[in-house]
Amino acid sequence: MGRPSQCFGRWPLSKRNMTERSQRKTESFSVPHSPITHPSTRFPAHLSFQLKVVPFQPKLSEEPLPRVSDADVLSMNDGKAIEILLVEDNAGDARLAREAIREAKVRNNLTWVPDGVEALAFLKKEGKYAGSNRPDLILMDLNLPRKDGRELLADIKSDEALRRIPVVVLTTSQADDDIQMAYHLHANCYISKPVDLDHFLKVIKSIEDFWLTIVKLPSE
């Protein structure tokens, strides 16, 4: 019998023992890091398993979304008719805008004036406009006769009694100078007027959907 090994007082491994230990090492594997295992976890080869990944599929309701009723739309501005002043020198555009807004769910009264002088007289209730109602919303062009739209906008926003009325600039001009000037004069919105009829009507409809339905307009 040979002498004991000096390595930690153990007997030297035989060739057979070394082969068996090597086989046991090859029959195990490391599990990759995952949310449900630790990287150091080891499983014997005879324990096999499969991970089945099931994608999350939220259950969608088949019930239709509730529709906003006419009563709900009217209540957004306390159910009262909204007064709109349209300042537009083009009679054709004014007629189209009036017809499009007339079909709105929200009750409204639209008054059309063709130039800046008439618009200011209406707003200040002067002359033939002495009995006019204060508008809740102003739609105006920039290129107006007699009194330019830029000058009219400046007059409105510098007047303590008128400055809170929202003003939507609706004009064919797409010049950066006009856009910057309009917002500098505190216009509430600047919209380029399309030359195409269908697009023009869509723009009017979008004004109706936002300003007459969603926005809570200021009172006097």
Residue 64 inside a domain? The answer is no
Residue 53 inside a domain? The answer is no
pLDDT at 196 over 60: yes
Residue 159 inside a domain? The answer is yes
Report the mean per-residue pLDDT for the chain. Answer: 76
Q: How far is it, in rounded angstroms, from Cα 212 to Cα 192?
A: 19
Residue 109 inside a domain? The answer is yes
Res 118: pLDDT: 96
Q: How far is it, in rounded angstroms, from Cα 184 to Cα 179?
A: 9
Unique residue bearing structure tokens 């001009």: 173
Tokens of 42: 């080891």
Res 28: pLDDT: 44
Please give the tally of structural domains in the chain. Answer: 1
Per residue in 9-62, pLDDT tens? 444 555 555 555 555 544 444 445 554 445 555 555 555 556 555 565 555 455
Residue 136 inside a domain? The answer is yes
Residue 15 inside a domain? The answer is no
Per residue in 85-106, pLDDT tens? 999 999 998 988 888 887 766 7
Could you give phi then psi for residue 135, rounded to 5 degrees? Answer: -70, 145
**CATH number for the domain that contains residue 156:** 3.40.50.2300
Residue 120 inside a domain? The answer is yes
Contacts of residue 158, defined as CB under 8 A and 6 or more positions apart, other chains included, come to: none
Can you give the three-state secondary structure of the chain, one letter per residue? CCCCCCCCCCCCCCHHHHHHHHHHHHCEEECCCECCECCCCEEECCCCCCCCCCCCCCCCCCCCCCCCCHHHHHHCCCCCCEEEEEECCCHHHHHHHHHHHHCCCCCEEEEEECCHHHHHHHHCCCHHHCCCCCCCEEEECCCCCCCCHHHHHHHHHHCCCCCCCCEEEEECCCCHHHHHHHHHCCCCEEEECCCCHHHHHHHHHHHHHHHHHHCCCCCC
Domain extent for 79? 70-214
Residue 24 inside a domain? The answer is no
